[in-house]
Chains A and B, each alone.
Chain A
Amino acid sequence: MVTTLDEATLARARRVARSVPDPELPMLTIAELGILREVAIAGTRVVVSLTPTYSGCPAIPEIRADLAGRLAAAGFADVEVRTVLSPPWTSDLISPEGRRKLAAAGIAPPRSRSEVAAGPVPLTLSAGGPRLECPVCGSADTVRTAAFGGTACKDLYRCRACFEPFEHVKEI
């Protein structure tokens, strides 16, 4: 049971919370993914604020359980996880380290939203999607094979140079 809470304790709680992996993209922590908004201490309670990537994100209960478990193991028995809806999550919140880890895992990271003209996805009237760099061989000769992937945040691509399929985190 934690009885005194000071800056060092807060830093420790923050460190533990930041280390929680995302269930769907386990190579990233929730801090690198940008969904961890705040870690604060109120009395003896640790209050963690999260923003879901998508309205229907099914991973939130898992993240909550993992946060509570890790914080409990670090001596923080009283944990509250709050949802923060505004401003919404965007793929721009993925940290540079997070982007590097995505690419290393064979997932093309999202481009900056400022590079994507006219909103997250302009009404694209031709097939194929934007051309991305293949995370396997680096070729730009890639084509989108499906607009939605195994999770809400990804779509599917194929490289025409090395023939490998790969996932891409969508720009939202």
Chain B
Amino acid sequence: MGFDTAYEAISEESDSGHRWAFGTGFTDPLAGVDTTVPAGVDGADLAAYCLMLGDDALIMSHRLQQWLARAPELEEETALANVALDLLGQARLLLTRAGRADGSGRTEDDYAFDRTEREFRNVRMAEVTDVDFAGLIARLLVFSTWRLALLGRLRESADPVLAAVAAQGVNELTYHRDYAAGWTIRLGDGTDYSRQRMQAGLAAVAPLVDELFVPSVVEQRLAGVAVNPEDLRPECDAVLAQVLAAARLDWPQVYGLSGVSGKAGRDGVHTEAMGYLLAELQSVARALPEATW
């Protein structure tokens, strides 16, 4: 039998019956995609790189999701949910890619819910909490500017899966950056009070910027597959300067947040905020290991 709408289809017996609402019943996001590791590329390194980029997206997405029901206006809440959903989609592809590349067969859920804090490879900028909406906008501006520059180059990756994920992600990140830039200007070039809050948001995110451009050993070993983050700095600086000039804001002159013995997010060394974030992100999966969604 046919169905008038897809919603009808999921309630019929033809469905496997494990989905309980629209958008559930997660299926392999790389179903049918050739995930062979390219010749000459180390599978473990490729997996580690996918985790870095996937964790950046997963953790940033979770922070954005925490804004739902907290945003100043319904339209902004919808926007933040959309940005979070795009990043979650990128994370799902990248974490799934990691499990195929290292041969472990681990799924996106295994990576998201069964790893400890030290096993997450996201940059620390993705995990920190936001004091207010301006703080979130400052962080989203820098994060999306950086990730857009990164994915723009990753489209040329020697790994076709990474290149494809990047090509789709560029379209999405372009909107995220535009959204954050728009709010940076409205707040920065708004009232004295909004300008002060926006400037404070930039001051909070600025110490976390240098870490974005430090290449890890994995990225150095994966030349041609991975992007060297050092190469992203001129583009990021130019975009941020353009936005801040339009917003009449100054880039704060601050020292970068140091790591622990030189180790930071890419080495699994995180800020205090990360433990609380994971406690929430993983709570249901850890309490109900047999749960599906």
Chief secondary structure at chain A's binding surface: loop
Q: Check if A54 sits within 8 Å of B89, measured CB to CB.
A: yes
Which secondary structure dominates chain B's binding surface?
helix
How many A residues are at the interface, by size bracket? 35 or more
Q: Quick check: A58 and B23 within 8 Å, CB to CB?
A: yes
Interface residues of B in 152-175 (CB under 8 A from A): 160-161, 163-165, 167-169, 171-172, 174-175
Q: Is A55 a contact partner of B165 (Cβ separation < 8 A)?
A: yes
Closest to A64 in B: B27
Do B7 and A147 touch (CB < 8 A)? Answer: no
A58 near B22 with CB under 8 A, answer: yes
Closest CB of chain A to B60's CB: distance in Å? 13
**Does B182 contact A57, Cβ atoms closer than 8 Å?**
no
**B277 part of interface (Cβ distance < 8 Å):** no
Cβ-defined contact, A65 with B6, below 8 A: yes
Q: List residues of chain B with CB within 8 A of the CB of A81.
A: 31-32
Give the distance in Å from the alpha carbon of A64 to the alpha carbon of B167 in the complex: 23
Cβ contact within 8 Å between B185 and A125? yes
Contact between A85 and B182 (Cβ–Cβ < 8 Å)? no
Instruction: Check: A101 CB closer than 8 A to any chain B CB.
Output: no
A69, A72, A172: residue with the most chain B Cβ atoms closer than 10 Å: A69
**Distance to closest chain B CB from A19 (angstroms):** 8
- B178 near A73 with CB under 8 A, answer no
B1-28 interface bits toward A, Cβ cutoff 8 Å, 1 = contact, 0 = none: 1110111011010110001001111110
Q: Which residues of B, 76-90, contact A by the 8 Å Cβ criterion? A: 76, 78-79, 81-83, 85-90
Residues of A within 8 A of B163 (CB): 86
Known contacts being A58-B85, A81-B32, is A66 close to B179, with CB within 8 Å? no
Given A65-B15, A147-B178, A148-B79, CB of A57 within 8 Å of CB of B89: yes
A85 adjacent to B92 (CB under 8 Å): no
Nearest Cβ in chain B — how far from A88, in angstroms? 4
Residues of B with C-beta under 8 A to A80: 32
Q: A145–B75 Cα gap in the complex (Å)? A: 8
Q: Using Cβ atoms and an 8 Å threshold, which residues of chain B touch A119?
A: 174
In the complex with contacts A54-B172, A88-B164, A62-B33 CB distance below 8 A: no
- Total count of chain B residues near the partner, CB < 8 A: 61
Q: Say yes or no: A70-B2 contact (C-beta < 8 A), given A55-B90, A90-B171.
A: yes
A61 and B27 in contact (CB under 8 A), knowing A56-B92, A148-B79, A152-B85?
yes
CB distance from A71 to the nearest CB of B (A): 10
The answer, among B5, B15, B79, B168, for a CB contact under 8 Å with A26, is B5
Q: Which of B107-115, B126-134, B239-247 contacts A (4 or more CB under 8 A)?
A: B239-247
**Smallest CB separation, A101 vs chain B (Å):** 15
Instruction: Determine the distance from Cα of A88 to Cα of B93 in the docked complex, in whole angstroms.
Output: 14
What are the 7 closest A-B residue pairs judged by CB atoms, nearest first?
A56-B89, A82-B32, A55-B89, A58-B23, A146-B75, A86-B164, A85-B164
Known A61-B27, A84-B33, A172-B171; further 9 A-B contacts with Cβ < 8 A: A54-B85, A54-B86, A65-B15, A69-B2, A70-B2, A121-B175, A123-B178, A125-B242, A149-B82
Q: A interface vs B, CB < 8 Å?
A: 20-23, 26, 49, 52, 54-66, 68-70, 72-73, 80-90, 119-121, 123-125, 127, 145-150, 152, 156, 170, 172
Q: 24 A-B contacts, Cβ less than 8 Å apart?
A: A23-B7, A23-B22, A52-B168, A54-B172, A55-B92, A57-B89, A59-B22, A61-B25, A62-B6, A62-B7, A64-B27, A65-B25, A66-B6, A70-B2, A85-B161, A85-B167, A90-B171, A123-B239, A123-B243, A125-B182, A146-B75, A147-B182, A150-B78, A152-B85
